[in-house]
Structure 1
Amino acid sequence: MTDLEFMDRAERLLLAVEQTCDRLNEETDADLDAQRSGGMVTLTFANRSQIVINLQKPLHEVWMAARSGGFHYRFDGQRWLDTKGAGEFFAHLSQCASEQAGQTLVFSA
C-alpha cells in the first residue's frame, strides 16, 4: 500500500469514528466528545476517561489507546485488523467504548 492509499483509508476510518460519535450522541445519553487534531481523534467520555486513535503513517498503522491497553491495526485489503490478533478495529473500538461509557456503543465503518 502506498502512503497515499494508507492516508485515504485511514482518513475514512477517522471520519467514520467522528460520524459515529455524532450519531451516538443523538441516539443515546453517552455524552461522547470527539476532538480531532490532525491525524488523531480523542474520545472523551462522561466519566472523563479517554480513547485516543491516531495514525502512524510511516508504519501504515492506526493505533488505539484505551483503558484496556494499546492496540495497533493494519489494513488487510478489506478491514483494519489488530497486529496481535485482538480483532477488527471497529468491533474492538465498540467493546472498549462500551466498557468506558458503561453502556453499549456500536461503532462501524
Structure 2
Amino acid sequence: MNDLEFLDCAEKLLLAVEQGCDRINDESDADIDAQRTGGMVTLTFPNRSQIVINLQKPLHEVWLAAKAGGFHFRFDADKACWMDTKGAGEFFAGLSRYASEQSGLALTFTA
C-alpha cells in the first residue's frame, strides 16, 4: 500500500466513524460528541470518557486509544478491512466493543 492508498482508506475509516456517531446519536440516547482535527477523531461520551482515533501516516496504521488500552490497526487488503496488528480483531468490532463499555450502552459502528 502506498501513501495515497493509505490516506484514501484511512479517510474513509474516519468518515465512517463520524457518520456512525451521527447515526447512533439519531437512533439512541448515547449523545457521543465526535470532534475531528486533521487525522484525528475524538469521541467524548456523556461520562466524559473518550476514545481517540488517529492516523499514523508513516506507519500506515490507525491507532485507537480507549479505557481498555491502545490498539494499532493496519489495512488488510485480502479481507478489505482494518485489522489489529496483534490479532485482536477488526477495527469496527473493537470500536463497537470499547464504545459500548465506555458509554454503558450497546453501540454498533460499521464500515
TM over 0.5: yes
Q: 1:99 aligns with which of 75, 78, 101?
A: 101
Whole-angstrom distance in 2 between the partners of 1:91 and 1:50: 17
Tell me how far 1:55 sits from its aligned partner.
0.1
Correspondences of 1:42-57 after superposition (within 5 Å): 42-57=42-57
Which string of whole-angstrom CA distances, capped at 9 and with x for unpartnered residues, describes residues 49-107 of structure 1?
00000000000000000000000000011110000111000000000000000010000
Runs of at least 4 residues of structure 1 off by over 3 A? none
TM-score by length of 1: 0.99
What's the Cα RMSD here?
0.3
SS in 1 for 2:29: coil
**Structure 1, gaps ≥5 residues long:** none
Partner of 1:79 in structure 2?
81
SS in 2 for 1:43: strand
Partner of 2:8 in structure 1?
8
Partner of 2:39 in structure 1?
39
Whole-angstrom distance in 1 between the partners of 2:76 and 2:22: 27
Whole-angstrom distance in 1 between the partners of 2:13 and 2:76: 14
Whole-angstrom distance in 2 between the partners of 1:47 and 1:6: 33
Aligned length: 109
